[in-house]
Amino acid sequence: MDPNKKTLIVFSGDLDKALAAFIIANGAAAMGNEVTMFFTFWGLNIIRKPEKVKAKHSLLQAAFGRMMPRGADRLGLSKMNFAGLGPVMMKKVMKASNISTLEELIATAKEQGITMIACTTSMEVLGLSKEELLDGVEYAGVATYFDYADDANVNLLI
């Protein structure tokens, strides 16, 4: 076990939880930690490419894919979403307070060398393919998660 390693499972695809996840991850990395983030279920939407990507899916998988948000700029809030008005308000407040946007936080995470892993089982459940996710993302399952978590001293799930 290494006191300078941290993992974070990102299950949620809500803007507020995604912000918290990246603020925690970037904070840990800035303090000299090796950080690994595992994106699973709705959390995969955070690392989805914003543009439409052609991918082979069954009809049902394609339906899920169409209904889920494409990327960090399209996420809703877990509370007070108000059909999309909540995120707009929150982004304005954040901008006025000079707090980084989620896209900027993701870019910082990459710059700091944070490992981002997409859960392949969830990708099948939600019908998401590799071409639809951000470049630089790695792909693995639960066994890989525990390889990292067993080595880390703080493991969180959001």
Residues that bind its own copies (CB under 8 A): 1, 3, 9, 11, 13, 16-17, 19-20, 23-24, 27-28, 30-31, 33, 40-42, 58, 60-61, 63-64, 67-68, 78-80, 89-90, 92-94, 96-97, 99, 121-122, 124-127, 141-143, 145-146, 149-150, 153-158
**106 vs 149, beta carbon nearer its own copies:** 149
CB of 131 to its own copies, least distance (A): 18
Give residues with Cβ within 8 angstroms of 30, minimum separation 6: 112
Give residues with Cβ within 8 angstroms of 14, minimum separation 6: 42, 75, 76, 77, 78
CB of 96 to its own copies, least distance (A): 6
For residue 70, give both structure tokens.
Answer: 């494409």
CA distance 39 to 11: 6
**135 vs 143, beta carbon nearer its own copies:** 143
CB 33 within 8 Å of CB 4:
yes
Phi and psi, residue 28, nearest 5°: -65, -45
**117 vs 135, beta carbon nearer its own copies:** 117
